[in-house]
Amino acid sequence: MREIKRVAVITGASRGIGRACALALAQPQTKIYLNDVANWDAAEQTRKDVQSRGAEAEIIKFDVSNLAEVNAGFEQITKSSGRLDILVNNAGIVQDNLVVRMKEEQWDRVLSVNLKGAFNCTRAAARPMLKQHYGRIINMASIVGVMGNPGQANYVASKAGLIGLTKAVARELASRQITVNAVAPGFIATEMTEALSEKVQSEMLAQIPLNRFGTPEEVAAVVAFLASEAAAYITGQVIHINGGMLMV
């Protein structure tokens, strides 16, 4: 068996951007843990595709919002792999509503998965990374976490919170050569955005100077770069991938 040199965990890796990140990180001597919560068939397909690129891959089931499940999952990973180099906090959901109509459960669930989930995984991953004096943490934020968006108060707050979490943890972990960055995609063609009405999709398109939606692979390429040795001097940053929709 070939020696494993890099161990990565990607949350929400069964489909969409998470799956593309797994494929972008897939190289020989890399082991990728594909976290998923419900979609077993899609996760299994991602596992096969990652392995066909020469990496090792294993599905690890946990709900990122559940602290006990997350801790047990990361314990299993570090016990069997002995290290952890890369964490991609990608798992995310939407439950849209205007703020006056938003139910407490919608607010709580979205914050719980998107923000607390990233905190749970970051804390669990930071322990082995601190011991190694090495790590790469990449958080999947969103353009709306910077711009705002009507009808998404819960989602926007979670993504803005994730950007704050990124900067705080980047400062805490920098002395051990652990970098923490966020990527902020604009409108990327996945199941999450397919669910939007045609009207909303065409309104979005009109705001994108490059005049098209992004692909999961275009986001994953930036994640792979941030996870690489070449990005060693980048930390606490938010990298925007949005076709020019927002220029900061």
102 versus 246: smaller Cβ distance to ligand NAP: 246
Residue of the chain from 10, 37, 57, 222 that contacts ligand NAP (CB under 6 A)? 37
Listed in sequence order, the residues at least 6 apart from 246 whose beta carbon sits closer than 8 Å to its beta carbon are 143, 146, 147, 186, 240
CB of 93 vs ligand NAP, minimal distance in Å:
5
109 versus 176: smaller Cβ distance to ligand NAP: 109
CB of 91 vs ligand NAP, minimal distance in Å:
3
Residue of the chain from 191, 200, 203, 244 that contacts ligand NAP (CB under 6 A)? 191
- The beta-carbon contacts of 99-104 under 8 Å, at least 24 apart in sequence, are 99/153, 102/153, 102/154
Residue of the chain from 30, 78, 81, 90 that contacts ligand NAP (CB under 6 A)? 90
Considering the rule CB under 6 A, would residue 223 count as an interface residue with ligand NAP? Answer: no
Total binding residues for ligand NAP by CB under 6 A? Answer: 30
Nearest CA-CA partner of 227 in 36, 47, 5: 5
CB of 114 vs ligand NAP, minimal distance in Å:
6
d(CA 187, CA 168): 26
Give the x-and-dash track for 148-187 against ligand NAP (CB under 6 A).
-------------------------------------x-x
155: annotated active-site residue: yes
Residue numbers 3-32 binding ligand NAP by CB under 6 A = 11-12, 14-18
Residue whose structure tokens are 């199941």: 191
What does the block give as tokens for 153? 């108060």
93 versus 102: smaller Cβ distance to ligand NAP: 93
Query: Which among 33-41, 47-55, 125-133, 201-209 is the span making contact with ligand NAP, rule CB under 6 A?
Result: 33-41
d(CA 189, CA 133): 36
Enumerate binding residues for ligand NAP (CB under 6 A). Answer: 11-12, 14-18, 35-39, 42, 63-65, 90-93, 113, 140, 142, 185, 187-188, 190-193
Which residues are part of the catalytic machinery? 155
